[in-house]
Amino acid sequence: MEITLTLNGKKLTRMVEADTVLLDFLRKEGCYSVKRGCDTTNCGLCTVFMDNKPVLSCAILAARAAGHSIVTMEGMQQEAAEFGAFIADQGAEQCGFCNPGMIMNAIALLRENSEPTEEEIKEFLAGNLCRCSGYEGQLRGIQNFIAWKKAQAQA
């Protein structure tokens, strides 16, 4: 079947099989930040934005993305790099495998709530699997990023 969607700001029309998962479609299009970790919607590694909302691309058929706007980390390099530096500063990117999903979800959180509490951050990121860290570094990185953004806004 033929689908048309916008991927990282570019309109695409492609042929896909009816059972093609969005995750596989995106990787075929060169979006390697989108990763397969569990195929059960439990790890967050495949998080992308669909119409500016975070979704798990392993749980959506590519055909369901037709007519929608999909953004991966490749489509938001500057914002992701800016935020990712705060995660790296806390040593929370040990192997880096979980970083794209973690960053996408943290950015989604901050777009919805620019001043989340520690508990709100933990709740929002609960679906992100990281096997290297105890999540404290990511939490500190997010909190430091929020403080930096606040200082930037006041300057």
> Tens digits of per-residue pLDDT, 83-107?
889 888 888 777 888 889 989 999 9
CATH superfamily of 76-154: [2Fe-2S]-binding domain (1.10.150.120)
Sort residue 89 into left (φ over 0), alpha (ψ -120 to 50) or beta. alpha
> Mean pLDDT throughout 12-29?
98
pTM comes to: 0.91
pLDDT of residue 90: 86
H helices of the chain, in order, are 22-28, 77-89, 99-112, 118-124, 136-154
Residue bearing the bigger pLDDT, 86 or 48: 48
Percentage of the chain beyond pLDDT 90 is 64
Q: Is the pLDDT of residue 8 over 80?
A: yes
pLDDT of residue 116: 95
Report the largest interatomic distance among the alpha carbons of the chain, rounded to a whole angstrom.
52
CATH superfamily of 2-74: Beta-grasp domain (3.10.20.30)
pLDDT of residue 132: 81
pLDDT of residue 29: 98
Q: Where are the domains of the chain?
A: 2-74, 76-154
> Mean pLDDT throughout 43-60?
95
Q: Supply 150's token pair.
A: 């606040």
Which of the four pLDDT bands, split at 50, 70 and 90, describes residue 125? confident
The rounded mean pLDDT for the chain is 92
Q: Residue 56's beta-bridge partner residues? A: 47
Q: Is the pLDDT of residue 134 over 80?
A: no
Which of the four pLDDT bands, split at 50, 70 and 90, describes residue 147? very high
pLDDT of residue 68: 98
> Mean pLDDT throughout 39-44?
88
